[in-house]
Structure 1
């Protein structure tokens, strides 16, 4: 009986998403970030880096990353953010994000192992790293909006709901 109820719930949710344009990935769970812009909307499965040790390690030493995956770096307060590619083996798009969820800057195809500072801006709370070239491939642009539970929902342009 319990399995049937679970199947019914999943079927109803899938049916609803077909007619509303909603998706499971847009539900603000901790493991996904959604992006909305002129291209439409999409979601990436993410790891969170929200403390000093996790942010220092980031995506270093990884030889690959699934296409719709990434890492979301989360900071407690708005601040200037710069990143580098020390010990990072794969090219990355770095998406620098304001406290409201608006994309302030995209640095495409950061070069593996390059230790040059990549400055994203001065009033930032998040950085999303995805595979190099994916922002352009999917049409993600500066000014697009991110949605995730780590944003202050009172300030978010696209709050969880």
Structure 2
């Protein structure tokens, strides 16, 4: 019986690894950063957040990924298995950009918010800088407009 359990666990592990190697596609939400439109995939479950933008080779310039957490905490991100250089904005409940960081592909350095937040938005590296979006700017869209 132990061999059957071991084989089942190996098969489950292999299936999860294969799934993680395929970029996930999640439901999207429209956001705005000033006059700029963003189509953000929403990662809200622990599994979706863990996979994030891993294994993607490209991403359109107007797309990103919004990470939604259950509670406001210091949030930290790394780039394990992430092939794209990304910029991240840590965002307060009201859409205010709290802090930002540029992250390098395949790097396991932690990039953390400067204060507790529930949201983080990843975009192609340099997107925020090119659009003049800095800490203190506000993002708009359904996640930030709803009462918490």
TM-score normalised by structure 1 residue count: 0.71
Give the aligned length. 121
Offset, 1:146: 1.1
Which of 33, 38, 45 is matched with 1:35 structurally? 33
Structure-2 residue corresponding to 1:133: 126
87-96 or 120-129, larger mean C-alpha shift: 120-129
Paired residue secondary structure (2:71): strand
CA distance in 1, matches of 2:39, 2:67: 13
Q: CA deviation at 1:100?
A: 1.5
Structure 1 residues without counterparts, runs of 5 or longer: 1-29, 156-161
Which residue is 1:143 aligned to?
A: 136
Equivalent residue in structure 1 for 2:107, among 99, 109, 114: 114
TM-score, normalised to structure 2, is: 0.77
- From 42, 46, 49, the counterpart of 1:52: 46
Partner-residue secondary structure (3-state), 1:122: coil
Can you give the 5+ residue segments of structure 2 that lack an aligned partner in the other structure? Answer: 1-27
Distance 1:31 1:104 in 2: 20
State the 1:102 CA deviation. Answer: 0.3
70, 76, 94: which one aligns with 1:76: 70
Runs of 4+ in 1 over 4 A off after TM superposition: none
**RMSD of aligned alpha carbons:** 1.4
